Amino acid sequence: MGWNIFKGKKTEEVSLEERISTALQKAKQDKRETEKEIRDIKEWAATAIIDSYADFFPNSNLTYYRKQYAETALAEYDDIKTKYAEKMEAEMVEKCDNIVKAYLNQIQLRESKLKLFTKIETEYNKTAEKLKVAHEKGSQTDRMKTHTDRLKSLDENSDETLSEAMTDSYQLEDIKEDIEVKEEYFNQLEKLNAQFSDTGDGSEHDSALAFKDEIDKMLNDME
């Protein structure tokens, strides 16, 4: 009664592999894009600081010096405020502070996204390994078919081989369910992206941390 669980299901097998491959590519691409966004936002935040405190950054109008200042401006922002804020208009200090805080919120959001994409990539690699093992087991079962055919008529073996076949089938179903669960994380993220999308009125800055909290909940669910 034993049989190869992949026999007659080649399309299904390829579909599972393709779904895993596509998801891995997406996770890697999302990671690269998010890493770039983090770098860009850090640069924008540093630029905002330099523009606001330009009087205290010698030659800040020159590209060479701006690049040097930008490397440390964000990390040293608190020190810059402590040292120079009293020498500036309060309105400018507050405006810069709000902009920098909003950028930092966006960075935190993307750092959580980066953790999520990394986690998804790791989990899909585990699923890919499961599918590989199942495929190898199926191939081994197929090679042993001659022997199981000889034994299938024996009562003392028929129950055992049937049990093995059912176990293999359940393993494939588990992998399918595993993939479906992981695909739902992408679906949920798309819903969150739509929910917290840029409205054009500046409110996206206020919602960045709320978005981050939802991402963190997804990460906790995957533990």
For 146-169, how does the pLDDT look when each residue is reduced to its tens digit (9 = 90+)? 555 555 655 554 444 444 444 455
Count CB atoms within 10 A of the CB of residue 62: 10
Residues with Cβ within 8 Å of 121's Cβ and at least 6 positions away in sequence, in order, are 24, 27, 28, 31
For the chain, state the CA radius of gyration. Answer: 28
Query: Quick one: pLDDT at residue 34?
Result: 96
**Cβ-proximal residues to 46 (8 Å cutoff; 6+ apart), any chain:** 69, 70, 71, 73, 74
Coil vs helix vs strand at 38: helix
What residues of the chain score a pLDDT lower than 70?
1-14, 138-171, 198-206
* Residue 92 contacts residue 26 (beta carbons within 8 Å): no
Nearest to 66 by CA among 89, 87, 47, 88: 47
HSE toward the beta carbon, residue 94, CA cutoff 13 A: 3
The one-letter amino acid at 197? S
Question: What pLDDT sits at residue 83?
Answer: 96
Side chain identity, residue 82: T
> Which pLDDT score is estimated for 155?
53
At residue 51, the pLDDT reads 95
